[in-house]
Amino acid sequence: MKRTAVLLLTLLGLSMLVCGLFAETEKEKQAIVEARAWLALVDSGDYEGSWESASTLFRNAVDQSGWKKALGASRSPLGKVITREVKSAEFATSLPGAPDGEYVVIQFATKFEKKSAATETVTPMLDEDGTWRVSGYFIK
């Protein structure tokens, strides 16, 4: 009887762990979909649209004209995207310099016309309205 109770509690704990991992995986998938949609705006040169669709945190940190200028300076020299593949996606609730929340840090291995190997880091967050929106972008 005691052994059965321990086994059931162990199975319950494992199932809760698996459900937690599945939830994070779903969050990562949703964030990747949003990141790709947002990157499509950037790739097409719609820098204003990328700012408008970004998270509240992002828009409060940089104004639209500053974003257009910074993104134009960093992306335009690279040319068109040739390939882009997800290298990693990691769920986090705390990031340096950002308020606690739900984030997914996604790294893409990207090949541009004029840069054969780059890493784009896109960080969607669960925004105030419950929608995943990009809160950060960096090219290395």
pLDDT higher than threshold 90 for residue 17: no
Domain that includes residue 51, residue range = 2-139
The 3-state DSSP composition of the chain as helix, strand, coil percent (nearest 5) reads 50, 30, 20
Residue with tokens 């950002």: 98
For residue range 80-106, list pLDDT tens digits in order.
999 999 999 999 999 999 999 999 999
pTM score:
0.81
| pLDDT over 90 percentage in the chain | 81
DSSP 135: E
Q: Give the total number of structural domains in the chain.
A: 1
Pick the more confident residue, 44 or 2: 44
Q: What is the pLDDT of residue 11?
A: 34
Q: What is the CATH number of the domain that holds 106?
A: 3.10.450.100
Could you give the CA distance from residue 11 to residue 102 in angstroms, rounded to a whole number?
A: 28
**Whole-number Cα distances in Å, 118 to 72, 87, 88, 136:** 17, 11, 14, 16
